[in-house]
Amino acid sequence: MVERQPGAEPRIHNLRESCTSCSLNDLCLPVALDAAGIETLDGIVQRGHPLVRGQIVYHPGKPFHSVYAVRAGALKSVTVTEDGEEQITAFHLPGELVGLDAIGFDAHPSTAAALETTRVCEIPFAELEGLSEHVHGLRRHLVRRMSQAIAAEQEMLHLLARRNAEQRLAAFLVHLSDRHVQRGLAATPVRLPMSRHELGNYLGLVPETVSRLFRRFMDHGWMSVQGQSIGLDNPGALRLLTRSSSQVVQEHRT
Binding footprint of a copy of itself on the chain (CB under 8 A): 79, 81-85, 87, 89, 100-105, 109-110, 140-141, 143-147, 149-151, 153-158, 160-162, 201-204, 243-244, 246-247
Among 188, 195, 224, 234, binds DNA (CB under 7 A): 195
Q: In angstroms, what is the minimal distance from the CB of 195 to DNA?
A: 3
Choose the contact partner of 55 out of a copy of itself, DNA, none; CB within 5 to 8 A by kind: none
Q: For a copy of itself, give the closer residue by CB, 141 or 252.
A: 141
Contact 110, 101 (CB under 8 A): yes
d(CA 234, CA 193): 21
- Mask: binding to DNA, 36-55, rule CB under 7 A, as x and -? -----------------x--
* Count of residues making up the chain: 254
For residue 69, count CB atoms less than 10 angstroms from its CB and return exposed for 0-12, middle for 13-18, buried for 19 or more: buried
Q: In angstroms, what is the minimal distance from the CB of 39 to a copy of itself?
A: 26
Q: In angstroms, what is the minimal distance from the CB of 163 to DNA?
A: 8
Choose the contact partner of 109 out of DNA, a copy of itself, none; CB within 5 to 8 A by kind: a copy of itself
Could you write out the three-class secondary structure of 164-224?
A: CHHHHHHHHHHHHHHHHHHCCCCCCEEECCCCHHHHHHHHCCCHHHHHHHHHHHHHCCCEE
CA-CA distances (angstroms) from residue 253 to 39, 84, 108, 168, 183?
51, 44, 47, 21, 27
Q: For a copy of itself, give the closer residue by CB, 150 or 187.
A: 150
Q: Which residues bind DNA (CB under 7 A)?
A: 53, 164-166, 195-197, 204-212, 214-215, 225, 227-228, 245
